[in-house]
Amino acid sequence: MIINSIRKTTLLLTLSALVVASFLRADIVYTSTNIVCFGEDVFLDIDSDETNDFRFINRNTIVSKMALLEQRPGSLIHVSTNGINGAPLPLGYHLESPNINSNLWLTHRDVAVPLFSGHAESMEEMKYSGLWANVTNQCVGVALRKGDTYLCGWLLLTIDSGIIYLHGYAYENNPEQSIYTGRTSSYPGFTGISCSQSNAVLLVDNLIPGQNITIQKTKSLNAPTWSYSSDFIAQGLNTTFMIPITNDVQSTFFRAVMQAQ
């Protein structure tokens, strides 16, 4: 069940399920991957239209290594606000669509952004430098051309000792919507719940930083006299929310929700 709200998102707790409500008219398409790029070029078709959108270029010798990310025709790479092409972006970074602000996107065709380079200082040690040298869980902002418009997205990378790990990627299927790096769904939800004698702890993900969230318990036959509602402002993509438990009825309720997951 989805409940629309103009101003805020409401997360409803029930005994049988955790129901998510959102006011966003959006559709994030997310793909989880476990791709390792080392020594060979790797092509990415992010939107599965049988056209490659990006290419990881790897050039390795005994004494040197180099990696670049190439935007293929029709695709764009994000330029950070300080003018650096393809700079690492933290999770939760707000990417404006090229349809809204084209100044923050590379517009040249077949542009390859350097990720890192490595040079052997000895037979045993390779020293790496560059924007992406030894970076963990950072994003590249990307955009895909669709007709006369663009879809905004991101790639999640870790680069360690000259090896590129692609953890996943996503794009916003609505050209009028921007996207937050690392956000894998258009709707917030619960990734876990635990319960002690005094508190229920909810792990909420896919939030929008700065978004107003209301968590409330719906009426149920098992706890007809108890209700709970609380507002908070999302500080990032994920947060831990603690709800106090003051009697056995509430404890029973939250333990039932936990078992339903």
Specify the pLDDT at position 233: 75
Question: Chain centroid to CA 106: how far?
Answer: 21
Indicate the pLDDT class of residue 250, thresholds 50, 70 and 90: low
Q: Are residues 49 and 98 in the same domain?
A: yes
Comparing 86-95, 179-188, 198-207, 243-252, the range with the smallest average pLDDT is 243-252
Which residue, 180, 204, 230, sits at the end of a domain?
Answer: 180
Q: Are residues 94 and 127 in the same domain?
A: yes
Comparing 1-5, 179-183, 257-261, the range with the smallest average pLDDT is 1-5
Does a structural domain hold residue 4?
A: no
Does a structural domain hold residue 249?
A: yes
| Strand-pair category, 229-233 with 9-13 | unpaired
Q: Are residues 174 and 194 in the same domain?
A: no
Q: Are residues 195 and 169 in the same domain?
A: no
Indicate the pLDDT class of residue 256, thresholds 50, 70 and 90: low
Only one residue has tokens 């921007």, namely 178
Domain membership of residue 231 as a residue range: 9-24+187-260
Q: Are residues 118 and 208 in the same domain?
A: no
Which residue, 180, 203, 233, sits at the end of a domain?
Answer: 180
Specify the pLDDT at position 10: 47
Q: Are residues 42 and 152 in the same domain?
A: yes
Specify the pLDDT at position 255: 56
* Full-model pTM: 0.77
- pLDDT greater at residue 13 or residue 171: 171
Does a structural domain hold residue 1?
A: no
Sheet strand arrangement including 229-233:
18-20, 9-13, 212-217, 229-233
Number of domains in the chain: 2
